[in-house]
Amino acid sequence: MEENYKDEMIVIDNVNRYNEIFGLETKHPLISIIDLTKATTWPTRAWFRYEVYALFLKNVKCGDIKYGRQYYDYQDGTIVCFGPGQITDLELIQNIQPNAHGLLFHPDLIRGTSLGQEIKNYSFFSYETNEALHLSEEERQIVMDCLQKIAIELNHAIDRHSRRLICTNIRLLLDYCMRFYERQFETRNKVNNDIIVRFEHLLNEYFEGDAPQHLGLPSVKYFADKVFLSPNYFGDMIRKQTGKTVSEYIQDKMIELAKEQLLSSDKTTSQIAYEIGFQYPQHLSRMFKRIVGMTPNKFRTQT
């Protein structure tokens, strides 16, 4: 049975809320394994705001997911993930049974566990459009096996081992997704290299203009927006391809500019700092000493 929620923002603040919308059974208040082939009702169009963690593996073409103004690169055999606070626009094809598997879990499930402390490291929960994880058939089977292990635990009578085993299997699934994303970064070398070249051009352009005086120091988000990627995906891709973080790239550029000004002009350190975009000159001095090993003034006199 199809329903339309297009004029309503649906807040998924617990797993039962999601299961109610799709007519699925809730076996645990904090976690659910999703099998949309068993859905008895579903929306043809809906806005979801997730307050839980969600991971979906799409099996066949049954609809699209939109984040912001763009659609996910969400083809058959791909994974998308959402974290608390994300809003998506779901469009399902009319008269077509949804076909996807997935996992939903509430932050309270992992609160106080080692997984709860490390969940921020799984940055793909904050990836955005065109950043879906494309799986090989072997990888897809691994994901399905992980989901099955969690399902087995949910069907088992709750005992003192349940929570630990469930969290362990969630971690296993997320670790595999991290591995698969790193493989995807490597297999998209040409596209990624084009983005790196674009980033380097944007970095030079930023400091060659008057942006530092108006906007201050550039952020990771500033450059991620320019190349139409989420900050997390952009940062992970740059680090994987170059071994440097985006912040390190930006810092290296600022040090390069400071050195050039120190040796080619008689500007004070404060003047140079303001031109680069620092609000407080001492911040440049501290960064310069940490990276170069000496203060700007000492660098000027010793070179």
Structure confidence at residue 69 (pLDDT):
46
Report, in angstroms and rounded to the nearest whole number, the Rg of the chain calculated over CA atoms: 24
Structure confidence at residue 131 (pLDDT):
66
**Tokens standing for 71?**
């659609």
Structure confidence at residue 229 (pLDDT):
83
Structure confidence at residue 242 (pLDDT):
82
Residue ranges of the chain with pLDDT lower than 50? 66-69, 71, 129
Structure confidence at residue 51 (pLDDT):
92
Q: What is the side-by-side strand order in the sheet with 42-50?
A: 2-12, 42-50, 87-92, 63-67, 70-71
pTM of the model: 0.64
Structure confidence at residue 232 (pLDDT):
85
Please choose, from the candidates 213, 217, 231, 232, the residue with its C-alpha nearest in 3D space to the C-alpha of residue 271.
213
Structure confidence at residue 148 (pLDDT):
96
Please choose, from the candidates 228, 224, 258, 254, the residue with its C-alpha nearest in 3D space to the C-alpha of residue 239.
224
CA dist 225 and 203 (Å) reads 13
Q: Are strands 53-58 and 78-82 parallel, antiparallel or unpaired?
A: antiparallel
CA dist 259 and 261 (Å) reads 5
CA dist 46 and 69 (Å) reads 15
